[in-house]
Each structure stands twice: as structure tokens, then as C-alpha cells.
Structure 1
Amino acid sequence: MGMTTDELYFKPRLQVVSEDQIAQIHMATLDVLERTGVKITHPKALEILAGAGAAVNGDRVRIPAWLVEDAIRKAPSRIVLGTRTGERNVFLERDKSYFGPSLDCVDYQDPRTHKRSRFISEHVKTTAALCDALPHFQWCMTIGMADDVPADIADRIIARNVFENCVKPLVFCCKDTNSIKDTYEMALLLCGGREAFDAAPTIVHYSEPISPLVYFDPAIEKVMYCAEKGIPLINFPAPQCCGSSPATFAGALVQASAESLSGLVVHQLVNPGAPFIYGAFTTIMDMRSTIFSYGAVEMSLMTAAMAQMAQSYGLPFFGTAGATDAKFCDAQAGAEAALQILSAAAAGSGLVHDCSSWMDHGSVASPEFMVLVHDIVDSVDHYMQGIPVTEETLALDVIHRVGPGGHYLQDPHTLKHFKTIKYSDIFERMVYDQWKTAGAKTFEQRLQAETLKKMEHRPEPLPADTIKLLDEMQAGWE
């Protein structure tokens, strides 16, 4: 029929800013970095920046446009992540999206009792294993804070617990470079050494400048260490409209981009070509409650704009979706998560975090919410496949064969293709009488049952000698 490949397969896309607006935001970002600059106090970083051509005046660093654009050119446009078993499973490039859970929740909501308690290390194991069981989450994070272990080594114990209970790539954050070093050593042990790690890194470090436009010394040290070792780095500010960034969305985007790119400059000066992931958690301060909103529609709008900025720069992106300000896994939680996930996928938001457990504006992790959001991600994945148009899918011969008044139930074409339809174990479609006969289970009951079933999963255990080595490492931390 003379169709081209583009006619056969078309991916749905969302654009919230035009090419001209992207150019305006970029030029404004350069203006902020040149004229306002960022606050950095780290002596070595100041020396490196001054030597490269930045204007350093005390702790204020003003970065010329050419230096920013040179860093963008040097940074890789593609990063491939891998599981600890060696599978290359995340390809951060162009507008692809890969979904994963959140990090650092302080509370845990038990799916059996729905009671809320402090997040402890046992919950880390539980949520990591649940992430491992959910195939549409391609990577994992250190979901909670582990309130039951010593604070000085909690970040490393959390990472170890995730490593033992989930084989997927891990995005982690920690307090200092010693913690990164120990986590990196665990990752090298589990994946088989430096060569295997460099081919497909199994960990990604998450670091934050402080909005507006400030870097504390530990954050700079982590940026530099990751650059030196080739550990993929997310440099991810969290500007809040009306509080720590301008109230206008364009102003927040400019500041956010300046904050992320300023870290890129330091990163690429330390090691040109080291893997870097651009992004920002751009949201609003709810002026009625003063909370940092995780469910605001404006968050999704600004995240989509940042994703377009990343694509224009040719940089991998760290996005946000699947979170909620709701206190429970209710209608508000589902509605906020669904809008965010569809927006993120259609914009091409790269490594999309918070897609599972962040409720109550980032404070509580819920396994039930993880399972719900995973089902939403599955639906969005189906949506993003678009509608393939081929001679096979147009089905002209099938329509002709069945003819007027016939049916397709037993046709070979139906048997071949019906499994492309998505079916859910928690969203039911029965008629009312069938639903009553089947037990009249509410959505909440179905979700709870499916969650408890998924929580029975455990990955293949690590070898005993590997566990022994991890024990020895942990003893060294203590």
C-alpha cells in the first residue's frame, strides 16, 4: 500500500512549550548564570571554575554562556543502565520514558491494616522486593529512610537492603562522598567489577542544589566524585513557585534549568563526557497550606516543559510523575497519578521517579499505591504504543470474510490479536450481577488483595559468599 515506517508506527506526543519558547527559556537561563550566578563555597570547585573562565567573586560564581554550552556539548546524550545480573534494560535517550518509584519517605502505610508508622529497614526490603515484582517499573530507588538504624550509616544500609531485594538499577541519594564510595563498591561487587559497571552502570546518584541557586560543599563534592568515577549523576533542584522560585512558571523553569546546568558545568570540567542527567522537581507552594505539592497539575506542566528542554539540549532527563498529596490510596491519589504519568510519558520524561509510593506530599510510602500506579503505568504504556497501521492491522480481508451481520469472536485474526488488549486485575469490567456473584469486592479490596499477593515475591537470593562480603563491608561502616 506504499506506506512509510512513520505511517505504520506513530508515538503520541505532548508539547507544552514551542521551539521559540524553548529558545527564550535557554537564553534566559544563560542570563541568570552569567549575571546572577550561583553560590558555591567549595574551594576546589571555585578553583576549577575560575581556571575554566568563570567569574569568581568570593562565593558567587558567574558562568559565561560559552562555558555552559560547551558543557552541554561534552555531556553524553545517551546513558544505558543495567541490572546487577548484567541485563541492559534502561536506555536514556531522546524522548524515551522509564518509570520507577520514589525515595526517602519517612512513613510507611501498612497494606494490611492501613496504619501509618515510621519507615524502617524491614520496609526497605519489602518495598524493594515489591518493585522487583512489578515489571513496568524498570528501575528502583531507596524508597524509605530506615528510622531503626544509626543515622550515620543509614543511607548505606538502605542501599544494601535494596541490592539484596531488587535486581533492577538503583537510584540512590546519600549524605556524603564516603556513602557514595561504599555504595559504589557494593555495586561493583554485585555486577562483577568496573568493566561491567562502565558498560551498563547499576547505580545512579541523586544530588540536589538548594533553590534558589545555592550549592553546599557536600553536594559539590558528590558531583565531583561521581564525575571522576563515571557514576551517572542526577543534578536535581526542587524550586517551589512562590517560595524558592518565582511564582510564574516560566521564571521557575529558568531558575531550575540554571540550577541543574550549573552542576553540569562543574561535572564536565572535572571529567568531560561523564554521564549526567538534567532535570528539576518544579512544583508550587500551595498558598492555602504552604505545602510543597506533589499532586499539583502545574508540576506536570513544568516537568513536561523541562523534558522538552532536555531534549533540545540532547541531555538525559530525570522526570517526576505518579505522586499525590492524598493521605490514602483513594480517588484523589489515582486521579493525580494518572494525569502525571500520561503527561510524563507523552512528553518523554526520561527516568521518571515518584511513580509508586509518594503520598501525602512526599512523606509516606504505600505498597498499595505502588501497585495502583504500576497498573496505571501499564495502561499508559499501552496508550503510548499508539495505533500501528499495517496491512495486517487494517484487517481488510478479515472484514470482507466476516461480512455484514457476522461476528469476529472465533476468527483466527481475533485469536491472534486479542491479547494486545490490556486487562487489569484491579480495575474490573463485570456487569453488576456478575460482580455480586464474584464476591462484590470493592476496588479497595481488590487492590489490597493484589498488593498482598505481589508482596510475596522475592528475587533470587545473592550467593552466601557475596552476603559475607557485604557483611564485612557493613562492619567497616559501623
Structure 2
Amino acid sequence: MRLRFNFAEKEELDQIHEATLDVLKNVGVNFHEKEALDIFKAHGARVDGNTVFIEADMVTKALSTAPSKFEWKGREKSVVIGDGGSISVPCYGPIYRLKDGEIKDIVPQDYVDVTKLHESSNVLDAGNPNVMEPVAIPRDIRRNYQMATALKYHTKPVMGMVDGKEAAEMSIQMAQDFYDVHDQTPVVAGLINVMSPLGISTAMCEALITYARAGQPVVVAEGGFPGVTLPPSIAGTLVSNNAGILAGITLAQLVNPGTPVVYGLPAVSGDLKVISMAIGGAETPLFVYYAKEIANYYHLPVRAGGGLTDAKAVDYQAGKETALNLFATYGAGIDFIIHACGILDTYNTISFEKLVLDEEAALSIKRQFKGFVVDDRHMMIEEIAKAGPGGSYINKRTPKIYREEFMLPKLANRETTQNWLKDGAKSVEALAADMVEERIGNYKLPELADFQEKILEKYIPQEWNAD
């Protein structure tokens, strides 16, 4: 027995698609980079200034060459995107850390420690050099440091940098050298953010073209703010976002047909009372459900959702909003989940304690969607008869079938009140802090080959080369 979702009707998806094609043909999308404009011109698209008008047949052809799934390689572990599983990826871009109840600037040790948490996670399937902005690292070496640090501490696949052509080339080359892979095997995934409404910046165009030429996966994503940068309705937001996403996917396929792409819809709710996105809003899950349906419509893997909240502390609001969004994300079967664990403050802040709490929430939600088995072994008629009316099923050892069926969380408090008080009356956040310290302390650096150590020495300054 399993929970199943069926969100959108085909007729509704057809309507969204046809409206999107109308926008692409008659409104167009701005590409703020000459090479992108030249590529579209060379393939017959009408271009007026920075605006490209894309015909339906060009979109259809691009979608036909985009693979429905692909393998993403790490140092020792690889994952498949688009095969029906949900690949969870860390946060992207926080500029602060919540620590000891205070919002603090990020320091290099934070960056190293969070990467160790990612590698030791049984929920997160990949690493992300963009997990936080280590502002203490000088800007001229920051991106190199981030990429090298992610490669150093991970055996899992890692994302890449996308701050223009130079950062994109650096990420791809460093990963290829580190893995000793020098073909178009996917070794880094780049997140290409479309500007709302209907625009792709110079840096994002450069990165998209660079990744596509190298055969590296691109997550083409557009979020935005309904009522400010997007139409003030959900359907209108979806049409506008869909146009921007399909325009980016089309460019990737024009550059290199067969480039792995992920349809990215990190659309969220908004609050016009305070003029702010509301990533924990009630409507955010609706975008998640739709994202999966429209990506299936195009036969593409999808990025959406995550453990999202606008809360500034690890409190009830954080727990409620995160749980609702994670439930929608794993329930919809989202293929590629950025911000899976640890995010706070409308993307601005990361909490290591929330990271491990989110892991437990994700495992609980996955357990729900796993369902349960109904057969002779699991109905246990003989055991029921043996125990009889008023009997007991308690044994000296926990039965194997119980361990198969029931999840035992490490952080949730299920003790009696007296035992809890006796043990110090610790909150789950305090227990999470203990777990964070334990996992970082127990982390073992994966063995490095000589050539890998030389690569890392080149990019990680000695004073920040902490193990």
C-alpha cells in the first residue's frame, strides 16, 4: 500500500504549454549575451536587440534531444537523475549561519564543517560548493577555493560554479582533472537561474553555453516573485516561468544536442504585505506538484521544492513550513532537490542543527511514501493466534520484521517526562547540536591520490587547509 499523487489533468498541461509557446513566439525572452543571440540567429530564430523570439518547432526539436535521465559521476559514488528516485542536494547560497541562537557571518571553518556534514549524510546524495558564501575568503580566489574544498571532502557528486564563463570553465576542468575524466561524462551540474520575468543574464548565458559545450548537466530554473516579477496568479506565473525555462533548455540543446538538462521550477509563494518571497507559503507546494507534472509532460527530470522556510530560528514555523514543503517534494517524486536540508530565512541563512533535523524529517516522509506490504508474512496470523486475546508481543529482542517496518528516529524526543528531565531536559535543537559536533568530529577524509593532492594544493590556501 502506497500514497499516490495525481495533480494535473493533461488538458490543463496542454493549456499551459500552448500559452507558453505563444509567449515564446510573440513576447520573447531576453538573452543578455552576444554569443547566445548569435546561436539563436544561426538556427533561424528572430532576434530583435537582446530579445529572441522562439518558434514552437525549435522548442519541440530541443525537447526531443534532451535526455530523460542521465548519470552524474562522483569520486566514488554516482547517482542517476530521472530514474524515479529523488536526489537530495544541499543548500545553495546562504550568506549567514545561525549558531548558538545568533545570526553570524560565515567563516572558512563553517564551509569545511558543513561539507563534512554533507558527505556523512544518509539523506543528501551530492555536494554543493555553493552551499554558503564564505565571504572571509578573498573574492579573487573564492570560487576556486569552494570548488576545490567540495571535491576534497566528497566522494559524492558535486555541483559546479556558474558565475560566468571563467568560473564555469574552472569548475568543469577542476572536476575532470580531479576525477581523471576527460570526455563529456557528467561530473558537475550547473544551476542556471533565469531572471524573472523572461530574461537570462550575461553570466548565466556564459555558464549555460560553457556547460552545454562540455556535455555537463544544467539545471535551468526560474523562480521569481508572484505579483512583483511574475504575474499575480499561479497559472500566469507558471506560463511566464515555463517560457523562461524552455528558452534556456532550447539554448542548451542548440549548443550541444543531448546535453543533460533538468527542468527547474523553484517557484514559491509571495507576500505583498511585506514585498517578499514566501518560500514557506501555503502555495509553494502547489508549484512543486505542478513542476513534476509539467516535467513529465516534457519527459525531463525536474528540480523543485526542498526543506524551505522563511523562519529565522529553528522553531515551530521552521518545522511546520519545512515539513509541508518536504512532504510535497518527496511526495511528488521530484528528481533533483536543492535546499533539501538546513535552509532558513528565505534562503539567506543556514543552520547545521536544522540540517540534521531536516534529514530526520526527510527520512520520516520517505518512510510514509514507502508504504507497507500486505502478505501472509506481514499479516502474521500465526503470531496473532499464539498471543491470543489479551496477549503480548514483547520479546527479549526486537523482531526483525519490526526493524523492517518501523523507523526509529535519533533526535525525536519519545522519553517519559521524568527520564527527559533526568537527562537534562534537552531540546531537539540541543540534541541536533550534539549530533552535528559528533559527525564533524568523526569525519574521515577520503584517501587522495598524489595528483589529487597537487590539484587541491593549487586552489586551497594553506591557512584554510583544515582537515
Coarse TM-score class (shorter-chain normalised): over 0.9
What secondary structure, in the 3-state scheme, does the structure 2 residue paired with 1:108 have? strand
TM-score, structure 1 normalization = 0.91
1:425–1:450 Cα contact (<8 Å) kept = no
Unaligned runs of 5+ in 1: 1-9
The one-letter amino acid of 1:468's match is K
TM-score, structure 2 normalization = 0.93
* Residue 49 of structure 2 corresponds to residue 63 of structure 1: no
* Residue 117 of structure 2 corresponds to residue 108 of structure 1: no
What secondary structure, in the 3-state scheme, does the structure 1 residue paired with 2:278 have? coil
Instruction: Report the CA distance between 1:320 and its aligned residue.
Output: 2.2
* Residue 346 of structure 2 corresponds to residue 355 of structure 1: no
1:205–1:233 Cα contact (<8 Å) kept = yes
- For residue 149 of structure 2, the aligned residue among 149, 155, 161 is 161
Supply the distance in 1 between the matched residues of 2:329 and 2:19 (Cα, whole angstroms).
24
2:212–2:256 Cα contact (<8 Å) kept = yes
Supply the distance in 1 between the matched residues of 2:82 and 2:27 (Cα, whole angstroms).
31
The one-letter amino acid of 1:27's match is E
Moved more, 334-343 or 350-359: 350-359
* Residue 128 of structure 2 corresponds to residue 135 of structure 1: no
What secondary structure, in the 3-state scheme, does the structure 2 residue paired with 1:164 have? helix
Q: List per-residue Cα deviations over 1:92-127 (Å, max 9, x = no partner).
A: 2254312222111111122xx332221232211111
1:264-413 aligned within 5 A: 264-410=249-395
Give the match for residue 33 of structure 1: 24
Distance 1:444 1:149, change over 3 A: closer
- For residue 470 of structure 1, the aligned residue among 430, 436, 456 is 456
The one-letter amino acid of 1:12's match is L
- For residue 417 of structure 1, the aligned residue among 401, 409, 413 is 401
* Residue 78 of structure 2 corresponds to residue 93 of structure 1: no
The one-letter amino acid of 1:469's match is I
Unaligned runs of 5+ in 2: 462-467
Supply the distance in 2 between the matched residues of 1:163 and 1:76 (Cα, whole angstroms).
26
Aligned length: 458
Instruction: Report the CA distance between 1:135 and its aligned residue.
Output: 0.8
Give the match for residue 121 of structure 1: 108
Give the match for residue 238 of structure 1: 223
Instruction: Report the CA distance between 1:329 and its aligned residue.
Output: 0.9
Supply the distance in 1 between the matched residues of 2:369 and 2:257 (Cα, whole angstroms).
35
Q: List per-residue Cα deviations over 1:195-254 (Å, max 9, x = no partner).
A: 5x71xx332111112110112222112111111101111111222101110110111111
* Residue 159 of structure 2 corresponds to residue 171 of structure 1: yes
Q: List per-residue Cα deviations over 1:52-102 (Å, max 9, x = no partner).
A: 2322222221111111111111100002223212x22x2222543122221
Moved more, 313-322 or 437-446: 437-446
Distance 1:473 1:451, change over 3 A: closer
1:168–1:202 Cα contact (<8 Å) kept = no
Distance 1:219 1:194, change over 3 A: same
Give the match for residue 6 of structure 1: none
Distance 1:441 1:260, change over 3 A: same
What secondary structure, in the 3-state scheme, does the structure 2 residue paired with 1:61 have? strand
Supply the distance in 2 between the matched residues of 1:218 and 1:411 (Cα, whole angstroms).
63
Q: List per-residue Cα deviations over 1:105-162 (Å, max 9, x = no partner).
A: 111122xx33222123221111111111211111122211110122233122112112
Distance 1:161 1:406, change over 3 A: same
Give the match for residue 3 of structure 1: none
Q: List per-residue Cα deviations over 1:253-293 (Å, max 9, x = no partner).
A: 11111111101111101111111111122123311221222
Give the match for residue 5 of structure 1: none
1:94–1:311 Cα contact (<8 Å) kept = no
Supply the distance in 2 between the matched residues of 1:60 and 1:262 (Cα, whole angstroms).
11
RMSD over aligned Cα, in angstroms?
A: 2.0
Distance 1:101 1:386, change over 3 A: same
Supply the distance in 1 between the matched residues of 2:108 and 2:18 (Cα, whole angstroms).
46
Instruction: Report the CA distance between 1:471 and its aligned residue.
Output: 2.2
Supply the distance in 2 between the matched residues of 1:265 and 1:444 (Cα, whole angstroms).
45
* Residue 173 of structure 2 corresponds to residue 185 of structure 1: yes
Supply the distance in 2 between the matched residues of 1:174 and 1:372 (Cα, whole angstroms).
29
- For residue 3 of structure 2, the aligned residue among 12, 20, 26 is 12
* Residue 69 of structure 2 corresponds to residue 78 of structure 1: yes
2:25–2:56 Cα contact (<8 Å) kept = yes
Distance 1:287 1:41, change over 3 A: closer
Supply the distance in 2 between the matched residues of 1:11 and 1:276 (Cα, whole angstroms).
30
Q: List per-residue Cα deviations over 1:381-401 (Å, max 9, x = no partner).
A: 111111222332232333334
Distance 1:396 1:191, change over 3 A: farther
Distance 1:305 1:29, change over 3 A: same
Supply the distance in 1 between the matched residues of 2:336 and 2:199 (Cα, whole angstroms).
24
Distance 1:443 1:357, change over 3 A: closer
Moved more, 396-405 or 259-268: 396-405
